[in-house]
Amino acid sequence: MGSEDFAQLVGELYDGVTDPQGWAKVLCRLAAYADSDAASIMLWRREDSMALIGEYAGLPDQLLIDYREHYDKEDPGRYFGDKVKRGEWYLDERELGLPFIRKSSFYQDFLKRYELDSTMVTPMLKGVHIDGFLSLSARAGKRDQAAVVRRLAPLLPHLERASALRVRLLGVAQQQELSALVLDRINFPLLVVTYDKKVLLANALGQQWLALPGNPMSASSPFSSHFTGLLKTATGLNGTRRAAGFIMPLADGSRQFVNAVPLSLPVDGWGDIMPQALVWIHSSDGENRSCDDILKQLFHLTPGEIRVLQQLMNGGSVKEISAVLEISESTTRTHLKAIFSKMNVSRQAELQRLLNRLNVVI
């Protein structure tokens, strides 16, 4: 493979990290480059020693069914999973020897049925619960396994990095899905909006609110300038970031309260790139919400922090709060520091204003 072809293969490997089709394309190219008839991603689950076939190219569907239902426990290669280090290969012809292969039911009753007699495997990912492997299968005598190992050596670091990225991306996707489920349980419209009115996240009621005619996100709304000012205040474009809100009369005579608090991005090497605000809406006839529910959902306060907050808003000092809750003053101060940080306020008065805007009863 020339340098351009190799670069294309590496590019497709990284493209597959975000491609909905996964690595189907790159597995086809890998199989051809490795003189193999099939390429697959094998997953080994540690807690029950279960071997599974993930994505694949060149393998018939019936082979996957047979493997899962009858032959996964008989696969001799699965017992070498912990022994093969990164950058190394399990080569069945070398590890097992041809005499064993000729007598093995896994090879003679299973793989040979699909004209596959030779398998080579290398680790892609070493995890806590699941290990991932690249498996290349072919007819016996079709390829020189040692030559394939040398040919694929420059690709292995990219294979490992791309695997790690893909697992991380899947984890983020799962977190987003779980977050959406949690947000949809909140019984009022809730949105995450950037300073320039881009909606990054909205629960189901928030999406319904955005679809209503005359909502202040629209430039034609008479409250568009109010909403712009609210976002500028909450994201710090008007100075220090702070909570903001305004009242929006509706055509039926009722009112909606539109509120926002600063939502800071984690400060890392990239800095705070896009200031955001957490926006929520409640009506004038809406019921007051319980403190525990809203504070847990919106600000991720722990039960201990909520108890300290309740005592603080009842006028308790650090000493009094500690006595009532039977905790040390040091623990009380730690909880208070976490509360102010999570709710992005610096003084008790700001905290009270925020709770008032949330329509929370302490």
Is the whole model's pTM more than 0.85, yes or no?
no
Long-range contacts of 86-91 (CB under 8 A, 24+ apart): 86/123, 86/126, 86/156, 86/160, 87/122, 87/153, 87/156, 88/122, 88/123, 89/120, 89/121, 89/122, 89/145, 89/149, 90/120, 90/121, 90/122, 91/120, 91/145, 91/146, 91/149
Bridge partners of residue 193, in order along the sequence: 199, 277
Higher model confidence: residue 211 or residue 262?
Answer: 211
Give the range among 137-151, 205-219, 273-287 with minimum mean pLDDT: 273-287
Tell me the mean pLDDT in the region 61-68: 86
Which DSSP state fits 307? H
Q: Which pLDDT value is given to residue 266?
A: 45
Which DSSP state fits 171? H
Q: If you average pLDDT over each of 50-54, 95-99, 341-345, which comes out highest?
A: 95-99
CATH domain 288-362 topology: Arc Repressor Mutant, subunit A (1.10.10)
Structure tokens at 346: 């610096």
Q: Which pLDDT value is given to residue 269?
A: 38
Rounded CA-CA distance 120/94 in Å is: 10
Residue 18 pLDDT level (bands cut at 50, 70, 90): confident
Q: Which pLDDT value is given to residue 8?
A: 83
Q: Which pLDDT value is given to residue 208?
A: 93
pLDDT above 90 as % of the chain: 14
Q: Do 203 and 188 form a contact (C-beta atoms < 8 A)?
A: no
- Per the prediction, the chain carries an average pLDDT of 81
pLDDT above 70 as % of the chain: 82
Q: Which pLDDT value is given to residue 194?
A: 86
CATH (residue range 3-172):
3.30.450.80
Closest CA to 25 of 17, 13, 33: 13
Enumerate the domain spans of the chain: 3-172, 184-286, 288-362
Is the pLDDT at 15 greater than 90? The verdict is no
Helix-helix angle 303-313:329-342, to 10 degrees: 90
Is 288-362 the same fold as 3-172? no
Tokens 């800095």, residue located? 271
Structure tokens at 261: 């608090």
Bridge partners of residue 214, in order along the sequence: none
Q: Which pLDDT value is given to residue 209?
A: 92
Q: Which pLDDT value is given to residue 296?
A: 67
Rounded CA-CA distance 261/345 in Å is: 9
CATH (residue range 184-286):
3.30.450.20
Is the pLDDT at 223 greater than 90? The verdict is yes
